[in-house]
């Protein structure tokens, strides 16, 4: 009798959470670079960008934890993941990334 491989129902949720955590870390690094790079004196605009980056990182983590919980709840009993695509979350974070990048460029170009 052939042996069946054990299914690991937590792997999709774990991969999803790791992906969102990496994105969150990216925002934190972006905010830290704005503070640490020598682009003139540290002013309120650059400090505000770092705070916005930290808030965006927290938002990404919250979305990631919510998405992970949804995946874990969707696999209960069936062993298969049944859930909708993360289109709203992806569009939200894509827009936030573009907005943050434009804000960083504007602050750095203006010399604030």
Domains held by the chain: number: 1
pLDDT tens digits, residue range 19-69? 888 888 988 898 888 888 666 677 888 889 889 999 999 998 888 888 888
Q: Determine the average pLDDT of the residues in 69-78.
A: 68
Give domain status of residue 54, yes or no: yes
| Distance in angstroms (rounded) separating the CA atoms of residues 19 and 24 | 9
Please enumerate, as own/partner, the contacts of 77-80 that have beta carbons within 8 Å and a separation of 24 or more.
Answer: 79/7, 79/9
Give domain status of residue 3, yes or no: no
The residue among 11 and 100 whose pLDDT is bigger is 100
Give domain status of residue 58, yes or no: yes
Give domain status of residue 105, yes or no: yes
- Interaxial angle between packed helices 44-74 and 87-110, expressed in degrees from 0 to 180 and rounded to the nearest 10: 170
Identify the domain containing residue 17 by its residue range. Answer: 11-36+43-110
Give domain status of residue 2, yes or no: no
Yes or no: say if 71 and 83 are a contact pair by the CB < 8 Å rule. yes
| Distance in angstroms (rounded) separating the CA atoms of residues 54 and 88 | 21
Give domain status of residue 72, yes or no: yes
Give domain status of residue 100, yes or no: yes
Yes or no: say if 35 and 47 are a contact pair by the CB < 8 Å rule. yes
Give domain status of residue 4, yes or no: no
Statement: the pTM of the whole predicted model exceeds 0.75: no
| Distance in angstroms (rounded) separating the CA atoms of residues 55 and 108 | 20
pLDDT tens digits, residue range 82-102? 666 667 888 888 898 899 999
CA distances from 67 to 9, 74, 85 (A): 15, 10, 10
């Amino acid at each position: 009798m052939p042996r069946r491989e054990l299914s690991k129902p937590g792997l999709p949720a774990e991969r999803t959470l790791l992906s969102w955590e990496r994105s969150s870390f990216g925002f934190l690094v972006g905010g830290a670079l704005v503070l640490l790079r020598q682009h003139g004196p540290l002013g309120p605009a650059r400090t505000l960008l770092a705070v916005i980056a930290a808030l965006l990182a927290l938002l990404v983590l919250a979305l990631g934890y919510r998405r992970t919980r949804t995946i874990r709840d969707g696999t209960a009993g069936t062993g298969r993941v049944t859930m909708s695509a993360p289109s709203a979350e992806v569009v939200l974070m894509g827009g936030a990334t573009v907005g943050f990048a434009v804000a960083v460029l504007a602050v750095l170009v203006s010399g604030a």
